Structure 1
């Protein structure tokens, strides 16, 4: 557990999957990225869905929900989805939390590997919100895009992951940067997908950034290492410059949602005006 401001921060491991390494690293040649992330025989690299739970004694705030467990066998084979060791509900329960105890869920965006666990199948094959007492928060710009995505990215948005939230009356749409709760700020960014939001937990001595898919792994900290999934890579580049500079100068802890090994680290600015993940931080 970490303590930042008034919040205890717990790491919630929601499982493993794999994505194509070339797609994950865009224009970076494989001879470079495979040194950091070795690929399997299908060119896929190992990925995690690492989440966090914030608890200040009043609110229990989950950030993202992973892939979930309602996908068909074909989907799970394509992405090598593996919940055999870790899954969302098992990890929450290991920390002493039930689905009913979660008060709030902040979704960075609505891609299936971030919002899939937001809903679940009940015994009657109905899709319902996983957390019946929670309010789910999404940027309105992302919500609008997810309902009518482009041909390029529509496979990433599965309506069953998020439409039931609105139908249940548990969805709240946000507009822009704001302090959503005391000490918890949401920051919209638009390079990866319109209306993605990072979450900054602000403390007097140190802050904690849940970076979402701006920085999916520590290997994506260098400025040019940008996913080909990003709809607007030059926007991503400018966003990385802004927030990596702040992270380095203000000594933030940065959380990498998709790395199975190094999920949290500080950021160092190099002599060449680039950035690297520096001191790894572990917590449960």
Structure 2
């Protein structure tokens, strides 16, 4: 998760277990308004076999996406739109579900929004990403005809903007959500997966183009400081969202924000 950042630094805030695994969230974001229930990313899902689940130490005892929706009075059928930042399994694993012996869209009435470039990447992954792009997470969406494919930056619904970035993988986009009061939040996907990744040099070893990630981070963080945006961290187990500041030492978290 931290690439070339020395373990001595990252383990202070992200202590690893005996197998060098760190605790991470698979945070999704629900945006409600104007008669729509918009879900941003779907987490890792529940399709992994027991052995794979143990490798990643997947723990659904406290939270599942279905439970979180249920606590907000929603069933999967009530979700109108699903925005997938990209199709890596920890972001799109919950996009499909098993139904007997077949796979189907987990949200049967939703349109699924994705960059066309990322679907092409997932359909023919490079050797490095092959195990991250699993066909079971997106081919059923293609077969059901529920994909809305986008090309570049776009306002797909009122106040919901896609912001393409390419350092982590080809065809990822972040999601900016604008409120009627002018406030805005950005769902950071894997560009800034945790609050620990706010410093520009702290990029993931998974990134295909770390120097591009650093440039994209600087652009996003500069705009976030200028406009007082809230940044939502998909993988941070403790800090769900935050505002950031720029000091002489670089960018850092100014204050945590409750969602």
Which TM-score band (shorter chain)? over 0.9
1:56 and 2:48 aligned:
no
Deviations along 1:187-238, whole A, 9 cap, x unmatched? 1100000110100012343211001000100000000000000001011011
Q: Give the structure 1 partner of residue 3 of structure 2.
A: 26
Q: Give the structure 2 partner of residue 193 of structure 1.
A: 169
Q: Give the structure 1 partner of residue 252 of structure 2.
A: 276
Q: Give the structure 2 partner of residue 96 of structure 1.
A: 73
List gaps (5 residues or longer) in structure 1.
1-23
RMSD of aligned residue pairs (Cα, Å): 0.8
1:125 and 2:110 aligned:
no
The equivalent position to 2:201 in structure 1, one of 209, 224, 228, is 224
> How many Å separate the matches in 2 of 1:158 and 1:205?
38
Q: Offset at 1:282?
A: 1.2
The equivalent position to 1:43 in structure 2, one of 17, 20, 24, is 20
Match runs of 1:233-272 below 5 Å? 233-272=210-249
> How many Å separate the matches in 2 of 1:205 and 1:266?
15
**Which shows bigger deviation, 274-283 or 183-192?**
274-283
1:159 and 2:141 aligned:
no
Q: Give the structure 2 partner of residue 17 of structure 1.
A: none
> How many Å separate the matches in 1 of 2:110 and 2:60?
24
> How many Å separate the matches in 2 of 1:125 and 1:90?
23
Deviations along 1:129-182, whole A, 9 cap, x unmatched? 000000001101111000111111111011001110010011111000011111
Match runs of 1:71-86 below 5 Å? 71-86=48-63
Deviations along 1:27-62, whole A, 9 cap, x unmatched? 100000000100000011000111111110411100
> How many Å separate the matches in 2 of 1:158 and 1:264?
28
Q: Offset at 1:270?
A: 1.3
Q: Give the structure 1 partner of residue 43 of structure 2.
A: 66
Q: Give the structure 2 partner of residue 116 of structure 1.
A: 93
Q: Give the structure 2 partner of residue 180 of structure 1.
A: 156
Q: Offset at 1:75?
A: 1.1
Q: Offset at 1:260?
A: 1.2
